[in-house]
C-alpha cells in the first residue's frame, strides 16, 4: 500500500483520512502471464495500479493485435474511455508479464472524487503527465522514419523496453515487425 501512497504523494499531500479510505477500496489482484485482464466486449470497471509486472492495452484491426500502450510498475492501467464512460470500449488488456496490482473500482473512485477535492487535483495533475506523453508520441509518429520512431520508443520506455516482445513494439510504433527486426540489426 505504501507504494500507492508514495505515488499519490507525488501530486498531492495525503491526509490520514484519505489514506484510510484509499486502503479500504484498493484490493490486491494478481494476473498470470498471458492472462486476459479485460475483454473489449466488457466494460472496464476497475483501474489497476501496477506494483510488479506489465500490462498492455491493444485493439484489433483486421484481426491483428495493435498494441496501444504498456503499463508497468507504479502506473495505472485501464481502458481509458471504457473506464471513464462505463461502457464497453475498444481495448483488450492483458498481462505480458505476471503482474501484481491494486485495483480500484470506477464506483469507488467517483465516490472519492465527490468527497476529496484533492483526489480531483491528483487526477488532473497526473492526467497532465500522461497528456504530455501522448502529445510527444503524436509528434513522433509524424514525419519520422522508422528508426526515429524506435529511438523515441526506447527513450519513452527507458528501463523497460527490453521486457517487451518485438512484435508488440512494432505494432505500438506503427511499423511491421520485419522492419523493426532489420532496424535492430541495424540495416
Q: Kindly list the residues in this chain that would bind DNA in the complex (CB under 7 A).
A: 33, 145-147, 165-167, 174-182, 184-185
CA–CA dist 184, 150 (Å, integer): 9
The answer to whether 26 touches 104, Cβ cutoff 8 Å, is yes
Site for a second copy in 12-31 (CB under 8 A): none
Distance between CA 48 and CA 66 in Å, rounded?
A: 21
Q: Which is nearer to DNA, 95 or 112 (CB)?
A: 95
Distance CA 39, CA 28 (A): 20
**Contact pick of 28, 34, 128, 165 for a second copy (by CB under 8 A):** 128
| Cell, residue 20 | 484510510
Per CB under 8 A, contacts with a second copy among 129-168 are 130-132, 134-135, 137-139, 141-143
Residue (107 or 184) nearer to DNA, CB: 184
182 binds, among DNA, a second copy, none (CB under 5 to 8 A by kind): DNA
The pair phi, psi for residue 17, each rounded to 5°, is -60, -50
In angstroms, give the least distance from the CB of 2 to DNA: 30
Amino acid at each position: 500500500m505504501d507504494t500507492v501512497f508514495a505515488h499519490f504523494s507525488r501530486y498531492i499531500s495525503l491526509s490520514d483520512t484519505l489514506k484510510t479510505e484509499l486502503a479500504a477500496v484498493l484490493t490486491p489482484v494478481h494476473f498470470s502471464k498471458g492472462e486476459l485482464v479485460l475483454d473489449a466486449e466488457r466494460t472496464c470497471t476497475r483501474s489497476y495500479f501496477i506494483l510488479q509486472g506489465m500490462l498492455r492495452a491493444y485493439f484489433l484491426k483486421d484481426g491483428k493485435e495493435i498494441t496501444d500502450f504498456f503499463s508497468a510498475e507504479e502506473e495505472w492501467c485501464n481502458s481509458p474511455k471504457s473506464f471513464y464512460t462505463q461502457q464497453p470500449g475498444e481495448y483488450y488488456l492483458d498481462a505480458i508479464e505476471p503482474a501484481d496490482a491494486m485495483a480500484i473500482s470506477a464506483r469507488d473512485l467517483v465516490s472519492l472524487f465527490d468527497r476529496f477535492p484533492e483526489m480531483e487535483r491528483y487526477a488532473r495533475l497526473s492526467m497532465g503527465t500522461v497528456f504530455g506523453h501522448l502529445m510527444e508520441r503524436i509528434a513522433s509518429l509524424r514525419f519520422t522514419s522508422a528508426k526515429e520512431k524506435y529511438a523515441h520508443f526506447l527513450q519513452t520506455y527507458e528501463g523497460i523496453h527490453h521486457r517487451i516482445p518485438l512484435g508488440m513494439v512494432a505494432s505500438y510504433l506503427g511499423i511491421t515487425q520485419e522492419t523493426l527486426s532489420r532496424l535492430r540489426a541495424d540495416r
